[in-house]
């Protein structure tokens, strides 16, 4: 084992390494990762004890006289997502430990919770951000589409337990700083308070680097998305089945409460299901629909949708939102006075 801390995910049948220092690893069984290490058994025991106790520990290996140090990574619900582990000589100081954050999303109700460290790692201020009741889109970087991110988004539509995914994504954070963060995800079935089984996505993240932004991407998909940007139009990706917002491609739309649980007027949702979804089978579809406002009101917005393949056979919706014209409101049978921002 090197002098780096190993981040070990512990939600599966056996512990797996997901980061060495600040470098992400793709769910490598710790037995394989440390197969020649004479302290493997002691490290595995230390990990198991840390998961059981939920507390950090330090122990001495009886044969090699090495110190094993562990730190648990847990959600406020008490579930241990993983263990940070370091092994070295008793007189050596551990390497700098990059603090992991933890995240849990209930994919059945599209609601997430995070730890303060998770927010800090993605460049957000835990003092002003909510730790619970979060929209899925709040914790997916906006303004770009990272490589591999579409696969992660597809999991929120195609709900399957037992999946794992590791990636590192770079973006400009809220302070204008470029940061690259590693993420690992696992989907697991869990029983909730109602007694029903819901699919959870449990994750950890770790900061890989913070610094100057790289040169702009020349990736074709990125250029296409950039070319579609229009002033006054807000683009996002949604689950076409239930209208859950998954990601903003521009800054978030200010006109409606996209963090809310009820996002579309019930009458408009029936219209959406009956006409808009059907039209998407042959192309794009447009409609004026009322979405839940920031003050509890219904806000009419013009929405254009087209199908977008996120992963093999899994489709989301590329959504374009803007304020409707008076004629569009009239055609939809709505009062122009209802328009967002009208006096």
Q: What is the pLDDT of residues 72-83, one digit of tens each?
A: 999 999 999 999
Q: Do 293 and 264 contact (CB within 8 A), yes or no?
A: no
Place of tokens 């940070």: 84
Per-residue pLDDT reduced to its tens digit, 294-304: 998 999 999 99
Higher-confidence position of 155 and 231: 155
pLDDT the model gives residue 220? 46
The phi and psi torsions of 260 (rounded to 5 degrees) equal -75, 160
Core vs surface per residue 61-79: b (16+ CB within 10 A) or e: beeeebbbbbbbbbbeeeb
Domains of the chain and CATH, by start:
6-88 (3.30.450), 99-215 (3.30.450.20), 228-343 (3.30.450.20)
Residue 249: DSSP 8-state: S
Question: In this predicted structure, which of 60-64, 222-226, 327-331 has the lowest mean pLDDT?
Answer: 222-226
**pTM, entire model:** 0.89
Residue 264 contacts residue 242 (beta carbons within 8 Å) = no
pLDDT digits (tens, 9 = 90+) for 173-226: 888 889 999 999 999 999 999 999 999 999 999 999 998 766 655 554 555 556
**CB of 102 closer than 8 Å to CB of 9:** no
Residue 2 — pLDDT band, cuts 50, 70, 90?
low
Give percent of the chain with pLDDT exceeding 70. Answer: 91
- Name the most confidently modeled range: 27-31, 35-39, 94-98, 150-154: 27-31
243 strand-pairing partners: none
pLDDT at 51: 98
pLDDT of residue 143 exceeding 90, the answer is no
Query: Is the model's pLDDT at 162 over the cut of 60?
Result: yes
- pLDDT(144) > 90: no
State both tokens at 235: 């683009």
Q: How far apart are the first and last CA of the chain?
A: 66
Q: What is the DSSP letter of 240?
A: T
The tens digit of pLDDT for each residue in 242-288 reads 889 999 988 899 999 998 776 899 999 998 999 999 999 889 999 99
pLDDT at 97: 95
CB 112 within 8 A of CB 23: no
């Amino acid at each position: 084992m090197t002098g780096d801390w190993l981040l070990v995910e512990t939600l599966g049948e056996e512990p797996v390494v997901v980061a060495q220092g600040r470098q992400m690893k793709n769910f490598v069984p710790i037995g394989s990762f440390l197969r020649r290490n004479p302290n493997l058994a002691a490290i595995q025991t230390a990990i198991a004890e840390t998961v059981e106790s939920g507390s950090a520990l330090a122990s001495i290996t009886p044969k090699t006289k090495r110190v094993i140090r562990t730190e648990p990574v847990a959600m406020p619900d008490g579930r241990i997502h993983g263990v940070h582990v370091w092994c070295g000589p008793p007189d050596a100081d551990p390497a700098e430990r990059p603090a992991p954050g933890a995240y849990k999303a209930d994919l059945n109700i599209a609601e997430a919770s995070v730890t303060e460290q998770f927010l800090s790692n993605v460049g957000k201020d835990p003092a002003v951000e909510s730790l619970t009741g979060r929209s899925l889109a709040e914790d997916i970087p906006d303004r770009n589409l990272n490589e591999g991110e579409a696969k992660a988004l597809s999991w929120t539509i195609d709900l399957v337990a037992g999946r794992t995914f590791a990636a590192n994504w770079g973006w400009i954070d809220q302070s204008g700083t470029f940061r690259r963060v590693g993420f690992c995800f696992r989907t697991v079935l869990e029983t909730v308070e109602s007694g029903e089984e819901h699919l959870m996505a449990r994750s950890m993240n770790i900061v890989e680097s913070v610094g100057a932004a790289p040169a702009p991407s020349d990736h074709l998909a990125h250029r296409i998305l950039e070319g579609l940007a229009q002033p006054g139009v807000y683009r996002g990706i949604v689950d076409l089945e239930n209208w859950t917002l998954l990601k903003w491609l521009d800054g978030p739309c200010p006109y409606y409460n996209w963090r809310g649980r009820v996002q579309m007027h019930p009458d408009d949702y029936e219209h959406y299901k009956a006409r808009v979804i059907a039209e998407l089978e042959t192309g794009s579809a447009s409609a004026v629909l009322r979405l839940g406002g920031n003050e509890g009101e219904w806000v009419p917005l013009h929405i254009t949708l087209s199908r977008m393949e996120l992963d093999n056979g899994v489709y989301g919706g590329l959504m374009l939102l803007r304020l409707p014209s008076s004629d569009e409101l009239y055609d939809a049978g709505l009062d122009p006075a209802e328009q967002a921002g009208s006096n």
